[in-house]
Amino acid sequence: FGGAPIPMPLSSVAYARGINDKTTAFGSLHTTALLFGVIQTDIGICRDLYSHPAGFGISVNPVLNIAVDTWEGNKKLWPELSLNAYQSLYQKKLLLYAGSSTWFELASKRAHGETQPNRALFHAQLGLQYQRKKFSYTLEGKYLGMGLPTQPNVVDYIGLQNKGALGIYLGLTRRF
C-alpha cells in the first residue's frame, strides 16, 4: 500500500438496558476476536453523575473487560474506568462528548513472561452521536495508550510521535 496506513477493522455487538433514569447496564461481544478463537466481552454500567436541563452532563463508566483464549485457555481481566462530559444539541438530536478512560493491568507479567511495565493505560476520546427515533450513528476518535511507546511492535500503530495509537470508531445503535 505504498506506506499508507492500513486500518485494522474490529467489530463487536453490544446490548444495553436502562436500569433507571440515571443508570444503564451494558455488555458486548467482540466478534472480530471471536473469529480468532478469543471470547472477549465488556460488561459495565454508564451512570449519570450530573445532568443539567440545558443538556450538559457528566457520566462515569466502570467496566470489566474480559478475554478468554479458547485454544490455550489463557484468561485476562482488565478493569476500566471512564469519565465523560457531554452536551446535547439541536433538541437532543446531536450528542457531543469528550472524556478519558483508564484500563488497569492486573497481571505483573506480559506475554512470554516479560515484566509488565505499565499498570494503567490512559485513553482520551471525543465523539459525536446523531440520534434518530430508532437509530443512532456515532463517530468517535480515540487516543489509546497515551504516552506509551509503540515501537517496536507487532503492529505499526499510528500515534503521536510513535506513542499511543489513534483510533476512529463508527457505531450504529438500534433502539427497541
119-130 b/e with 16+ CB inside 10 Å = b?
Answer: eebbbebebebe
pLDDT single digits (tens) 156-166: 777 888 888 89
Q: What is the pLDDT of residue 4?
A: 75
Cis check: omega of the bond before 9, within 30 degrees of 0: no
Q: What is the pLDDT of residue 27?
A: 97
pLDDT single digits (tens) 93-116: 999 999 999 999 998 887 778 888
Q: What is the pLDDT of residue 41?
A: 97
Cell readout for 69 is 483464549
